[in-house]
Amino acid sequence: MSNNIKSWDIFISHASEDKELFVRPLEETLQRLDVSVWYDEFTLRLGDSLRKSIDKGLVSSSYAIVVISQNFIKKKWPEYELNGLISREIDKDRVILPIWHGVTRKQVVQFSPSLADKYAFDTERETAQDIAIKILREVRPDLYASHPRAEIERIASGEALRDLQHEFDRVKEELSEYLCPYCDASLHARLEAPFDDEQKHWGVREIFSCGYQVFGSSIEQLCPTDPQFPKFDEYELRYSNTPDESHWQWACIAVARTEMARLFKLSPSYGRTKEEVETKMRESYQRYAKRTE
């Protein structure tokens, strides 16, 4: 084959009608086996050029899979599209891999004698998984040789991926006490602190990187992804004019109207005008609440 570097291991040329029932399962299995596949670009429809499709695919791919089916044959390719198809194979290497999908040898011979003479996979005798494993051995012998056959079958069937997901879920469950129960943010600090002024009773305060804070069984600060996180209108804004107390002319405090609002306290804001302190109060809220966006 050419020494040009290819972007994909294979491309799949097929009739659009065969995509959902066969081609997509085949492609997904190949992807699980770490074979890079490009096939959407080469879904053939009435009037498309077979040779142009294969030529284009071979520019970027090492191998071409042609799914020959009743739907493929019905498209009635002009004879010139089929003549010399095998000559597309570079330096006489085996580049085109036919798959017979619901067709007989007689039908393939009538369609294209040159394709009928090539070794082909047959979906009447093999599943998409079986064919994918054989394609792996052909196009990526390095990957095929690096795993025992039983392991390749586990990967092809998706069993290995399911096992990995189960392991991920198990680890996540073990780490759950170190994650925010709402957004999975990590635990930032865990400190012992007294419940009372006399320091007779102590508990643990946990602070998470998202801002969620809990002391014992009581929530002290909400996670911004909590579905019940308060809206800005759950606060009543109260203004005061303080010309003699500081260089700020106005102060604004937010008084919680709901129970959830009481769990997220907004600091007072100060400014030269009433409009300025309200704007600062809204911005203070948004700096925390925007994490939910």
3-state helix, strand, coil split of the chain in percent (to 5) is 45, 25, 30
What residue ranges do the domains of the chain occupy? 8-146, 179-221, 232-292
Question: Which pLDDT score, from 0 to 100, does residue 231 have?
Answer: 92
Return the active site residues.
81
pLDDT mean across residues, the chain: 82
Question: Which pLDDT score, from 0 to 100, does residue 201 have?
Answer: 86
* pTM (2 d.p.): 0.53
If one compares 75 and 2, the residue with the highest pLDDT of the two is 75
- The alpha helices in the chain, defined as continuous H runs, are 24-32, 50-60, 70-74, 79-82, 105-111, 113-116, 128-139, 141-145, 149-157, 159-175, 259-262, 274-289
**Which residues, in sequence order, are CB contacts of 122 under 8 Å at separation 6+?**
99, 100
* Residue-wise pLDDT tens digits, 159-188: 766 776 676 677 767 777 788 988 888 898
* Residue-wise pLDDT tens digits, 125-135: 888 889 999 99
Residue 37 has pLDDT above 70, yes or no: yes
pLDDT tier at 45, thresholds 50, 70, 90: low
* Residue-wise pLDDT tens digits, 258-279: 988 988 888 999 988 899 999 9
* Residue-wise pLDDT tens digits, 78-110: 444 454 455 555 445 667 889 999 999 999 888
pLDDT tier at 62, thresholds 50, 70, 90: confident
Q: Enter the tokens of residue 44.
A: 């053939």
Q: Enter the tokens of residue 241.
A: 């004019």
CB atoms within 10 A of CB 11: 27
* Residue-wise pLDDT tens digits, 196-255: 888 888 899 999 998 899 998 888 889 988 988 999 999 999 999 876 556 778 999 999
Question: Which pLDDT score, from 0 to 100, does residue 2 have?
Answer: 45
Q: How far apart are CA 51 and CA 70, in angstroms?
A: 19
Q: 8-146 has which CATH code?
A: 3.40.50.10140
Question: Which pLDDT score, from 0 to 100, does residue 246 have?
Answer: 60
Please compute the mean of the pLDDT values over residues 107-119 and round it to a whole number.
83
HSE-CB at 118 with a 13 A cutoff on CA atoms is 23
- DSSP 3-state of 225: coil
If one compares 256 and 287, the residue with the highest pLDDT of the two is 256
C-alpha pair distances (Å), 103 with each of 8, 121, 200, 249: 28, 11, 84, 86
